[in-house]
Chain A
Amino acid sequence: MPQMKVMYIKEHTLVAPDIRRMVLDDSIYARPGQFVQISVSPTLDPFLRRPLSVHDDGEGGLVLLYRASGRGTRLLAEKKPGDSVDILGPLGNGFPVTDAPAAILVAGGIGVAPLCYLARTLCEAGKQVIFLFGAQKADQLYIPKAITPFLTVLETATDDGSAGHHGPVTEVLEQFLQKGAVPVYGCGPEGMLRAMVRVAAQYYAQTYVSLEARMACGVGACLGCVVETFQNSGEAYQRVCVDGPVFSGEEVFR
């Protein structure tokens, strides 16, 4: 059940260029892949809340990882430890956990945010976690040190070759799928997710993608955030905020 909660910022640090990590003083009991709607300003402008993924949650409090890109996230970036933020959540369906003994997680840029929490959860459930992280260049490959013990494999890729594999992260994905088809979870730019679903389909691997959409309510009431999905019954619009943000790959990419 989502709640509206005022929380206090315990830590707020710049961890990579434009990327901040915000630790809050309370938990919302979220599952990996769920998100929150955070109010960036107490005034009427900017008007809407901003959707941000749960980067971690639990006894240490709710953690968010975000890139300050536009006006709203830049206002958020100005907040200091001790300041309060108004959070609506947890929202959305979250990533499904399958019976498979291993999983491949594919992160593109800031899409790494929800996958860290998933990695921890899968590892704690006794599964092998293969974590593939692609970004434009090396300085955007932020991965919290606390996460690395949960990863069986961590491979990186950059568009400019400044770290890891030189080229798209989906090329690394292919190498791992050749060794065995396990469920693939992705979050990142749409182009990357499409390529990921296409590659995984060649190996008959199940895919789960976390999508972004412009949102107003975040709770399923306004029908503003829809994505076109392809199902047995034909095409239909589904709400990213409640029917997603996680969809199976073949449901949204054709």
Chain B
Amino acid sequence: MNPDLTVNIGRLTMQNPVMPASGCFGYGEEYAPFFDLSRLGAIVVKGTTAEPCSGNHPVRLAETPAGLLNAIGLQNPGVKAAREKIRELAHCGVPVIVNVAGHSAEDYLRVIDFLEEEEEAAAYEVNISCPNVSAGGMAFGTEPCVVESLVGNLRRSTKKTLIVKLSPNVTDITEIARAAESAGADAVSLINTLLGMAIDTATRRPVLANITGGLSGPAIKPVALRMVWQVSSAVKIPVIGMGGITGARDALEFLLAGASAVAIGAANFTNPMVCPETVDGIADYLSENGFESVSRIVGLAKESLRPVTGGVCGCGKK
């Protein structure tokens, strides 16, 4: 029997737990030549702002060991033009999750107000964690009280599923996750990119025009996995895990750590087929190991252990 891959996040039902991560899949059309997009659990589109945003100057990318630094700076056509692309994308039949970004609480509200009546925008992922914009972005995501008030505001403005995307660039990510939960978020997603940089020894200058950028790819997977483990113990709402996933093995680690669903970012760039391959790989694993549904393995790695509530201190001891 085929295992049941269905996942529920708030009011959103996904046919499987795999979605491309925000900013790594365009508006879907770029990857449509490679596979049937209807195979995905959901599609998360690029960070969308109220007004068009031109983004950062190039150079915007730097390859690093087993990873990638980016400083795109939220380039997007603004919510009005994005709406057309979202309508187009929704034809493929899977839920479209709109990643919402802004420089102020009003900005976020404007995006949500604009899309609230759009059936095609199935859910919002609120990006309070982008490291590449000077005002707002990550600034919202690092203070629990600011997160609580922002998410509370958004909660009152929407009936749709509200996912809050967390920054790893904080002292204690569980605090932020709890703030989002208590303000009414339906789920949290993590992690966004880790702040980093690279220097060109030939020119003796930073590679990125923005100086710093966000690190993604396999290099960040252990950090992301640890944070998903901690956050899924700290909150009751579902967790969407991401960071360095390159296939089913990685995705299964996140599910076993406590994520209800996973997102795949940078790996799409090296393997455009990574999302459907991951769906198949998860299904195979469940069948081979006798699990009737994906929900059966969520957080399973914790079951044999005593509950971990605190973090791990710097010396590696609990």
* Residues of A near any B CB (own CB < 8 A): 1-4, 39, 44-49, 88, 213-228, 236-237, 242
* Bound Cα distance A1, B32 (Å): 10
Across the A-B interface, the 4 shortest Cβ-Cβ residue pairs: A221-B26, A224-B61, A221-B30, A45-B66
* Bound Cα distance A48, B24 (Å): 14
* B34, B60, B66, most chain A CB atoms within 10 A: B60
| Contact status of A217 and B30, CB under 8 A, knowing A47-B218, A47-B266 | yes
* Bound Cα distance A14, B25 (Å): 37
Binds A, one of B51-59, B116-124, B227-235, B300-308: B51-59
* B24, B58, B246, most chain A CB atoms within 10 A: B58
Asked whether any CB of chain A lies closer than 8 Å to the CB of B65, the reply is yes
- Indicate which residue in B55, B66, B67 contacts A223 across the interface (CB closer than 8 Å): B55
* A44, A47, A214, A236, most chain B CB atoms within 10 A: A47
Which of chain B's residues has its CB closest to A70's CB? B63
* Bound Cα distance A216, B218 (Å): 14
* Bound Cα distance A217, B272 (Å): 9
| Contact status of A224 and B272, CB under 8 A, knowing A3-B33, A4-B34, A47-B217 | no
Interface of A is mostly: loop
Contact B55 A226 (CB under 8 A): yes
**Chain B residues within 8 Å of chain A by Cβ, number:** 36
A-B contact pairs, 10 of them (CB 8 A): A1-B33, A4-B34, A4-B272, A47-B66, A216-B70, A221-B25, A222-B24, A222-B70, A226-B55, A237-B58
Q: Can you name 16 extra interface pairs (CB under 8 A) apart from A1-B33, A45-B218, A214-B59?
A: A4-B271, A39-B270, A45-B65, A47-B218, A214-B61, A214-B62, A217-B24, A218-B269, A221-B24, A224-B60, A225-B60, A226-B75, A227-B58, A228-B58, A237-B54, A237-B55
Chain B positions within 8 Å of A216 at CB level? 61, 68, 70, 266, 269
Contact A47 B25 (CB under 8 A): no
| Contact status of A213 and B58, CB under 8 A, knowing A44-B66, A47-B217 | yes
Contact B30 A220 (CB under 8 A): yes
- Indicate which residue in A223, A228, A242 contacts B72 across the interface (CB closer than 8 Å): A223
* Bound Cα distance A251, B101 (Å): 31
* Bound Cα distance A1, B98 (Å): 27
Chain A positions within 8 Å of B273 at CB level? 4
Asked whether any CB of chain A lies closer than 8 Å to the CB of B152, the reply is no
Contact A2 B33 (CB under 8 A): yes
Contact B54 A224 (CB under 8 A): no
